[in-house]
Structure 1
Amino acid sequence: MAEITGVPEYDEAAIQRIRDFVEATMGGRIVRMEQQVRWRPAWFADVEVDGKITELHLRGDRTGDVAIFPDLKREADIISVLYDQGIPVPQVHGYLADPPCIVMESIQGTRDLSGLSAEAHSAIGREYMAAVAAMHKVPVEAFADVDIHVPQGAEEIALIGLNTYMPQYLRTKKRPEPLLEFVIQWIRRNVPRHRTRAAFIQFDSGQFLVHEQRMTKLYDFEFSMIGDPMVDLATMGMRNTIEPMGAPLPELFGYYEQASGEPLDHDAILFHVLQFSLLGTMQFTGTVADPRPADPHSVYLQFDLALRRSILLALSQLAGVPLPELPPLAERTGDNATLIRKLADTLSGVAPRDPVAEGHKAQVVELIEWVARADAHGAAMVARNIAEVSAFLKRDFADWPSAEAALEAFVLAAGPDQDAALITLLGAIEGRRLQVFGPTSIGEAALHVRLPQSRLDGA
C-alpha cells in the first residue's frame, strides 16, 4: 500500500482525467473549471450540454491522517441515498476513483446570512430544521447497500462517534494527551442510557446554503453515520459560534421540535457537544503534533484550540466543576521578535501567482503570528504547567514531555473520585494555552466558543 500523504495527488494529469470523466459522464464540454480555494481539492465547473450550461461541483479527497472514512465514494453513495429519499441535497452525477472525485450538482447560494431580515432568518430556519427532521426520519435500512453500521442499544448509539474515531486516533497519536484520555473515560462512564433510537445523522451539521432568502440544500456528508439524532443539534449549535445559523438557536430548535414531533433532550445535546469536541480534537491531534507535508496547519491549529475550549466548557457544566480563573498574562517581547518581524516583512513582498497560492501565503502569515506568541509566552506557559503537574503528582519533572506523559498515565489509572481535581488541573493547562494563542488570527475562533443555548427559554 502506498504511503498516505496529507493531500492526494491532483497533478495536471489527474485533473485532466477529471475533465475527461466529467465530459463523458455529462455528455458535454467543460467551458469553465475553477478551483475552489480551500484546504481540500475541489472545483466549480460549467458544462455545456446541448447548448445549455450545467453547473457542477467537483469534490476531491483530502484523506491523509485526518480522514475518518478514507473512501470518498462512501460520501457519494450517502448523498445519493438521501437524494433518492427526497432530502434536499445535491444530485450526484458520477464518481471517479482515480483521482477520487465526486461529480455533483453545484448548489446555488451562500453561507453568509448577514443582511437578511429577521423574517428571512426565521423562514430559512424553518426550512433548514424541517430538512434535518426529515433526514432523521429516513429509515436506516435505506443505507444497507452503502454499508453504514447501524448501532444497537443505548451505549453503542451514544458512542458510535467515539468508536468510529478511535482507530484513527490510536494510529496517528504522536504525543501524550491527558485531556483527551480523561474525556474518553468520562464519556464512557456517563452514557445517556435512555437514548435508544438510532437515526441517520450528518454528524458535522449546520451546513446548508441560502439563495434569494431561501434555504437551497444541505451539503458535506463526509463524516455522516447512524447514531443519536441529538448529535446534529449539538454540532449545529457549535457551528453557530463561528458560522451563524441565522435565527437564534432556541428558535431553530423549536422549529425542529415542531417538524420532528419530538421534544429535544437538552442533557443529551450537551453530552454530544462534549463528545463531538473530543472527536474533532482526536482527529487532528496527530497532525497538530507532527504536521505532514501539504497539511493546512493553521486550519488544524484553529480547530484544535477551539475544540479544546469547547471540551472544557461542556465538561465543566456536565460534571458541575467550575474551570479555574487564571491571572492575566504579563505582556512581554519574545527573544526572537526582531527575526520574526523580519520574516513577516520578507513574506509581505512575495506576490502569489493565483488564489490558491494567496491562500497558502495567508496561512503562513497566521503561523508567523502564532510563532511570535509562542516566542513571547511559550516558555513561561510550559514552566507553569510543569510546576502544577509536579505539585499534583508529587514528583519533579525536567521537561514538559515527561510531565505530560506522567499526567496521562495518572489519568488512565484514576477513578471517578479524581474527576474534579483533574478537570481543574487540565482546565488550567488548556486555559493558559488559550491565553497565549487566543489573541491571534488562528486563535480568535476559540475565544468566541460558547455552549449552545438550546432551551427555548435560553437557559
Structure 2
Amino acid sequence: MTNAAPLNNYDDAAVGRITAFVEQLTGGKVVGLERLVRWRPSWFVEVETEGTVRRLHLRGDRGGDVSIFPDLKREADVIAVLHGHGLPVPEIYGYLADPPCIVMEAIEGTRDFSALDAATKSAIGRVYMRAVAAMHRLPVEPFMAAGVHRPEGAEAIALVGLDAYMPHYRRTKSRPEPLLEFVIGWLRRNVPRHRDRASFIQFDSGQYLVDQGAMTKLYDFEFSMIGDPLVDIATMGMRNSYEPLGAPLPELVRYYEEATGEPVDHDAVVFHVLQFSLLGTMQFTGTVGKPCPGDPHSVYLMFDLALRRSILLALSHLTGDPLPDLPPLEQRRGDNAPLLAKLVDTLGTLPVTGEAAEAHKAQVAELIEWVQRADDHGAEMIARNIADVSALLGRRFDRWVDAAEALEAHILKAGPEEDAVLITLLATIEERRLQLFGPTKLGEAACHVVLPATRPD
C-alpha cells in the first residue's frame, strides 16, 4: 500500500495561522516545518528559543466524513489527562481551533522492530503492557470531564464502540450492507454479560514508538473511550497482523496478566475483534460505496476488504460455522482490458514532483488495478451472488443492489435460528469479493489477515 496523501489540505493561510500560534505559544521562532505525507495533516516543526532549537509535532484534523469523534480538541484533552497521571504519552502544549491543530511534544522513535533481538523485544513488550495495564487502572472521572462517555452495565460496556459508531454509520451509509446488519444484530444478542467493569481504553491500540532499544511513548488517542479493557488487547492483536508489535502477542498478553493479576478472557477478546472489525467497516462503508471528493479511496478500499475478512474469521470462531471453500476463478480478460492497459501506460508517463504527488499517482495506479480485476471477473461474481440470494429468498433479482437490499431486509427480521444459513451465504459473498480483489496490491493486506492468537499454541 502507498502512503496516503492528505485529504484535508490546510492552505497556506491556515499553515500561517498555525505557525503564528506556535510562535506565540513558545515565545520562539519557527525555523523548520516538515509536512508528513499521510491522510491527516501533520507536521514536525522546529522552534528556536534563545538559541536552542526543539522539535514539536503538529496534529491536524483528518477531514472528510469518516470521523466518529470529529472534535480534535477531545483528543488533546484526553492526552493531557493521561500525561497528568504519569502515563507515557506526549505532552500537550496547546490547541488551535482555527484551523484545528494540536501542538504537542514530538516523540522520538520508530515502529520498526526489525533490528532488535528477541530479548529486547520482550523487555519492550513488558514495559508496554505495564503501561496499558496502568492506563486501564486510572479513574474514569477525569476522562468523563474531558467529554468521554461512561457506559453503565455489561451490555453498554461491551457495545460502547458500536453505540458510538452507529450514528455515523446510519448517516453516511450509501448502499445495502447485509453483512454489517447481520453482525450488528449478532453482537447485540451475544454480549459477554459477565464483563461489567469499564476502564479508559485507547480503543485503536498498539500504537507506541521505540528508540535505542526502549519504548518511548504511546500515541494516537483519537478513538479513545471508556469500555471493556479487553478491547485494547483485541485491537492491538489486529494491528499486529500488519504493524508488528515486537514481541509475540501471546507473550504480550502474559505480561498484561502479570501486570493486572487477572487472566485474560480469550473469547471476550475475539468478541471485540469481531466488533472492532465491524466498526472499522461501518466507518468507511459510506465513502467506499459513494466516494467523496478528496478521500484517499484506495486506502479505504484496502481497509474495507481487510476488515471484512477479519469479520468472517472472528464470526466463524465464535459461532463454529466454517467459512466456505470456493473453487478458483477461471482466468479471463475483461472487455475493457485494452483501454485499461492504455490508462496504465498513460499514468506511467505523467511527470510528478514531490512525495505527495508520487503518493497520488500510486493511488491512481492501485485504483486502475482494482478496476481491471472488476472488469475481468466482476460480472461473474455479481451473477453468482444474485443467484444465491434469489435461492434463499425465493424470488428473482436482475440487479445486485436489489438483491442486497432484499437480503438486508430479510436479515433485519430473521431470528437466531437462521444464523448458520445466513453466515454461510454472507461469507460466500465476501469470500468471492476477496477472490476477486485479493490479487491486487490493495488486496494484499486482506489476504494476510489472521485471527489474533492471544495464547500460546
Query: Normalised by the size of structure 2, how large is the TM-score?
Result: 0.98
Q: Does the CA-based 8 Å contact 1:7-1:61 persist in structure 2?
A: no
Rounded Cα–Cα distance in structure 1 between residues aligned with 2:7 and 2:364: 18
> Which sits farther off after the overlay, 329-338 or 289-298?
329-338
Deviation at 1:64, TM superposition (A): 2.5
Rounded Cα–Cα distance in structure 2 between residues aligned with 1:7 and 1:112: 26
SS of residue matched to 2:280: helix
CA deviations over 1:313-343 (Å, ceiling 9, x no partner): 0001101100111001111112111111111
Deviation at 1:190, TM superposition (A): 0.2
CA deviations over 1:363-395 (Å, ceiling 9, x no partner): 111111111111111111101101111111111
Aligned counterpart, 1:292 = 292
Rounded Cα–Cα distance in structure 1 between residues aligned with 2:333 and 2:9: 42
In structure 1, give the amino acid aligned to 2:324: P
Aligned counterpart, 1:209 = 209
Rounded Cα–Cα distance in structure 2 between residues aligned with 1:66 and 1:147: 20
SS of residue matched to 1:226: strand
> Which sits farther off after the overlay, 152-161 or 137-146?
137-146
Aligned counterpart, 1:279 = 279
Aligned counterpart, 1:156 = 156
* CA RMSD after TM alignment: 1.0
SS of residue matched to 1:43: strand
Aligned counterpart, 1:56 = 56
Rounded Cα–Cα distance in structure 2 between residues aligned with 1:111 and 1:439: 27
Unpaired segments of 5 or more residues in structure 2? 1-5
Question: In the alignment, does 2:226 pair up with 1:232?
Answer: no
Aligned counterpart, 1:405 = 405
CA deviations over 1:126-174 (Å, ceiling 9, x no partner): 1111111111111101213202111111000000000000000000001
Q: Does the CA-based 8 Å contact 2:7-2:296 persist in structure 1?
A: no
> Which sits farther off after the overlay, 225-234 or 360-369?
360-369
Deviation at 1:7, TM superposition (A): 4.4
SS of residue matched to 2:318: helix
Question: In the alignment, does 2:379 pair up with 1:387?
Answer: no
Q: Does the CA-based 8 Å contact 2:59-2:101 persist in structure 1?
A: yes
In structure 2, give the amino acid aligned to 1:129: M
Task: Describe how 1:113-192 pairs up with structure 2 within 5 A.
Answer: 113-192=113-192
Aligned counterpart, 1:3 = none
Aligned counterpart, 2:88 = 88
SS of residue matched to 1:331: coil
Rounded Cα–Cα distance in structure 2 between residues aligned with 1:37 and 1:82: 27
Rounded Cα–Cα distance in structure 1 between residues aligned with 2:449 and 2:36: 27
Rounded Cα–Cα distance in structure 1 between residues aligned with 2:299 and 2:213: 30
Rounded Cα–Cα distance in structure 2 between residues aligned with 1:327 and 1:115: 41
SS of residue matched to 1:64: coil
Aligned counterpart, 1:27 = 27
Rounded Cα–Cα distance in structure 1 between residues aligned with 2:273 and 2:309: 11
In structure 2, give the amino acid aligned to 1:333: R
Rounded Cα–Cα distance in structure 1 between residues aligned with 2:334 and 2:7: 34
Rounded Cα–Cα distance in structure 2 between residues aligned with 1:141 and 1:263: 26
Number of equivalent positions = 452
Query: Normalised by the size of structure 1, how large is the TM-score?
Result: 0.97
Q: Does the CA-based 8 Å contact 1:9-1:99 persist in structure 2?
A: no
Question: In the alignment, does 2:21 pair up with 1:17?
Answer: no
SS of residue matched to 2:59: strand
Rounded Cα–Cα distance in structure 2 between residues aligned with 1:144 and 1:381: 48
Q: Does the CA-based 8 Å contact 2:32-2:45 persist in structure 1?
A: yes
SS of residue matched to 2:339: helix
SS of residue matched to 1:194: coil
In structure 2, give the amino acid aligned to 1:56: L
Rounded Cα–Cα distance in structure 1 between residues aligned with 2:238 and 2:118: 21
SS of residue matched to 1:267: helix
After the TM superposition, which segments of 4 or more aligned residues of structure 1 sit over 6 Å from their partners? none
Rounded Cα–Cα distance in structure 1 between residues aligned with 2:350 and 2:42: 25
In structure 2, give the amino acid aligned to 1:113: F
SS of residue matched to 1:294: coil
Aligned counterpart, 1:241 = 241
Rounded Cα–Cα distance in structure 2 between residues aligned with 1:34 and 1:341: 37
Q: Does the CA-based 8 Å contact 1:306-1:449 persist in structure 2?
A: yes
Q: Does the CA-based 8 Å contact 2:8-2:40 persist in structure 1?
A: no
Rounded Cα–Cα distance in structure 2 between residues aligned with 1:88 and 1:313: 34
Rounded Cα–Cα distance in structure 1 between residues aligned with 2:8 and 2:113: 33
Rounded Cα–Cα distance in structure 2 between residues aligned with 1:167 and 1:7: 22
Rounded Cα–Cα distance in structure 1 between residues aligned with 2:358 and 2:130: 39
Question: In the alignment, does 2:367 pair up with 1:337?
Answer: no
In structure 2, give the amino acid aligned to 1:211: D
Question: In the alignment, does 2:354 pair up with 1:364?
Answer: no
Amino-acid identity (%): 68
Q: Does the CA-based 8 Å contact 1:158-1:192 persist in structure 2?
A: yes
Rounded Cα–Cα distance in structure 1 between residues aligned with 2:63 and 2:180: 23
Rounded Cα–Cα distance in structure 2 between residues aligned with 1:144 and 1:223: 14
In structure 2, give the amino acid aligned to 1:140: V
Rounded Cα–Cα distance in structure 2 between residues aligned with 1:276 and 1:59: 24
Deviation at 1:8, TM superposition (A): 4.2
SS of residue matched to 2:439: coil
Deviation at 1:94, TM superposition (A): 0.5
Rounded Cα–Cα distance in structure 2 between residues aligned with 1:390 and 1:26: 65
Deviation at 1:9, TM superposition (A): 5.2
Aligned counterpart, 2:416 = 416
Aligned counterpart, 2:428 = 428
Aligned counterpart, 2:256 = 256
Question: In the alignment, does 2:56 pair up with 1:47?
Answer: no
Deviation at 1:231, TM superposition (A): 0.1
SS of residue matched to 1:66: coil
